[in-house]
Structure 1
Amino acid sequence: MSDPLEDFLAMLASERGAAANTLAAYRRDLEGARSVLGDLPRADRAALASLGPAWAALAPASLSRKCSALRQFYGFLVDEGLREDDPSGALPRPRARRPLPRILSRDEVERFLGRAEEEAAGDRPEAVRLLALLELLYGSGLRASELVALPVAAVPRDAPFLHVSGKGGQQRLVPVSTRARAVLSRWLAVRADKSRFLFPSRGAAGHLTRVRLFQLLRELAARADLDPTRVSPHVLRHAFATHLLEGGADLRVLQTLLGHADIATTQIYTHVDSARLVALVNARHPLRDKAVS
């Protein structure tokens, strides 16, 4: 007999177009639950309720993710006729408040890019590549996984757009700024490798890995006198979104640019902008130092 867990993951891949990273996360969460409950497909409500104490030490966001995986798994079993009841109502329901994303200020981004531009002035391939990576992270808001896996064919000759394959294989067009296009032209001119990937590597993946991208950014941050712990590919994506919103971008446009399936995911940036405004009032208002009687 087939394993219902494997059947569920196959359904996510085929019907919902789940990415490899998403499938790996579901597998970890479900196998973790199976290690506690034993026979996962036949677990009853009392067994699922026992997960609350077993997972008490988890962060709210982690607990919420694991419970979501289980709810979808049991919904799948019911839909497939493998169970008559859905016991997932007994799962704990943490109310995790989504934290505001970390970002860099405009001045910090300018310092970061300025350092990369200085290092790329001599057309050294490694330095030009890093500048191109930065321009696409901050200038187009790409995810790290989207960026490192870009094929050369994604860069059109006569249109200011990239063809990007996002989460779940969803395709979208992403605008590329004039300066980013200029840096990409420089990179293509000095790029020696004939790989189909825009940012090739000799590793098994065939392209630059997300881990190496993360390392390159932190090393550059240190050289630019920025705190390396505050810098990552996702921080630059957040900075792209936040700075566009501050400049008057529409939330729906931002959703399209970021490749978010749900507008609720994009709405986090309205909270970032609100937090910035509150901080500005607290720091600059003439009554900030007046004591309240």
Structure 2
Amino acid sequence: MSAASDLRVDTYLDHLKVERGLSRHTLEAYAKDLGRWLTFLDDEGRVLDDADGTTVAAFLVKLAGDGLSARSQARYLSALRGLYKHLVRERYLREDPTALVDRPKLGRRLPAVLSRDEVIRLLAAPPGDGPREVRDRAMLHTMYAAGLRVSELVNLELNALNLETGFVVPHGKGDKRRVVPIGDFAKEALLDYLRDVRPGWAKPGSRPVFLTHHGRAMTR
């Protein structure tokens, strides 16, 4: 583990203690969360200074794989945001790698007309294993897991997917891009579609993820 990384985290914790007057219990929680981040960086062969948005997203995916809830993942991301904002403010770094990473989706409130079981059935639909059904399931799971607008979903391109790590980089309003971790269900649905369906529809050089059976990009 990098001594420089450890020192910068310790300096940040001192800042929280002196400038913000956080309690010992809260500081210990921050130290534990940031320590887990440093361990992850070390395992990945990285240090605090060269982490980017992709690294942060991969960390959140790792936390999800370890069984942490979306709320716990959001807590870790909040700790990282505080650390990196401090490092940028103190001019240790130029850019904040957490800036483009979306907060993990907490149990979003759904319209009252839909029960939890109905949402589960919706995500399982449409039934069948035909090419269109496989595509539509991938679209539903991706849209729900990443909290995408329809326009962001249909405009996803292949280079916006990193399914090995488990995140997408949608192109949002104002030409903004952000890194969004997705869960295993969405990842598996996308892999099924990309492996079994899209190759039979895609024309050479086609970049959109989701295509019609004629090989054209999906529209809203």
Tell me which interval the TM-score lies in, with the shorter structure as reference length: 0.3 to 0.5
Higher Cα radius of gyration: 1
Where is the helix percentage greater, Structure 1 or Structure 2?
Answer: 1
